[in-house]
Amino acid sequence: MTEQGDMTDPEHLRATVKVCMFDQYGTVVDMQSGLVEAATPFLNRKGWAGNPNSFVTWWRRTHFENSMIDALLGREHTPYREIGERAVSFVMDRAGIQHTPEEVHDLVAAIERLKPFPEVPAALDRLRRRYKLVVLSNGDPDMLEAARHYHGIGFNRIISVAVAGAFKPHHATYQTAAGLVGVPRDQILFVANHAFDCIGAKASGMRTAFIDRRRRPFGATPHQPDLIVPSMTELADIIA
């Protein structure tokens, strides 16, 4: 466990947590590597000489920015797929890559086929012996349903933020998810690879575990995670 901040006693977590709730994209499934794999042959066919990893990073950052704007506007929730297609189209326009709407759609659809990080299935099998396993994702319901075939993990429930009408880290997403699983928020451990998601969940009253895959500081915030671990295996070692 990373030595950072005041971590919660694992024994206390084991005694009080009933549900482990996971972010999906980037926490359960390997989004960066999977999208680089999908985008590389497309970019090669287009004759683009740039770095596919950078292309995917620009895509994901643009998507994140646009989803945060959407959540803050307080208007009708925009589907994740639509936000993604806008982001990919924008990045290709900036990169000078000619594209069609069909090509944009196909790239975004690759999100449905992402595979889990190598250690995740075994670690979650250990966790499910003690906890209910739930997903709370920014993805659209149909995208999350299609992804089941590819990640192969039997979650007890998969929840899309569409039911709350806003993207994470809007407080309504965590509150709605807790209501749907019927467990007080302080009995839920929210697990994410993204600091913003852990901060949102902790601010809403959940416990949080930060999967620090990239070995980066969590940052100064009053909403520090209860646990910081380098992978899902270590999380299972501590609380399973």
Specify if 167 maps to a domain: yes
The CATH number of the domain where 59 resides is what? 1.10.150.240
> How far is it, in rounded angstroms, from Cα 64 to Cα 74?
16
Q: Is residue 3 part of a domain?
A: no
CA angle 17, 181, 83 (to 5 degrees): 110
- Distance (Å) of CA 176 to CA 165, 186, 194, 199: 10, 14, 20, 16
CATH at residue 151? 3.40.50.1000
Q: What is the pLDDT of residue 103?
A: 98
- State the pLDDT at residue 2: 39
- C-alpha distance across the termini of the chain, in Å: 14
The CA angle 234-239-240, to the nearest 5 degrees, is 90
Q: Which of 52, 87, 113 is the last residue of a domain?
A: 113
Query: Would you put residue 117 in left (φ > 0), alpha (ψ -120 to 50) or beta?
Result: beta
Task: Please say which residue of 113, 132, 164 terminates a domain.
Answer: 113
Alpha-helix residue ranges (DSSP H) falling in the chain: 10-16, 31-45, 52-73, 80-95, 101-109, 120-127, 141-151, 171-181, 195-203, 232-239
* Same-domain check for residues 86 and 102: yes
Read off the pTM: 0.94
Token pair, residue 183, equals 């467990």
Q: How many domains does the chain have?
A: 2
Q: What is the pLDDT of residue 6?
A: 59
Residues 66 and 35 in one domain: yes
Which residues form the domain of 86?
Answer: 31-113
Give the Cβ contact number of residue 41 at 10 Å: 10
- Are 176 and 66 in a shared domain? no
109 exposure class (CB count in 10 Å sphere: 0-12, 13-18, 19+): middle
Tens of pLDDT, residue by residue, the chain (240 residues): 433 445 788 899 999 999 999 999 999 999 999 999 999 999 999 999 999 999 999 999 999 999 999 999 989 999 999 999 999 999 999 999 999 999 999 999 999 999 999 999 999 999 999 999 999 999 999 999 999 999 999 999 999 999 999 999 999 999 999 999 999 999 999 999 999 999 999 999 999 999 999 898 999 999 999 999 999 999 999 999
Give the 3-state secondary structure of residue 129: coil
In a domain, 2, yes or no: no
Say if 104 falls within a structural domain: yes
Same domain membership, residue 67 and residue 25: no
The beta-carbon contacts of 10-14 under 8 Å, at least 24 apart in sequence, are 10/227, 10/238, 10/239, 13/189, 13/207, 13/226, 13/227, 13/238, 13/239, 14/130, 14/239
Are 143 and 227 in a shared domain? yes
Q: Which helix (H) or strand (E) holds 137?
A: strand 132-137
CA distances from 59 to 1, 87, 220 (A): 31, 6, 26
pLDDT of residue 218: 94
Residue 64 domain-assigned?
Answer: yes
**Residue 76 maps to a domain:** yes
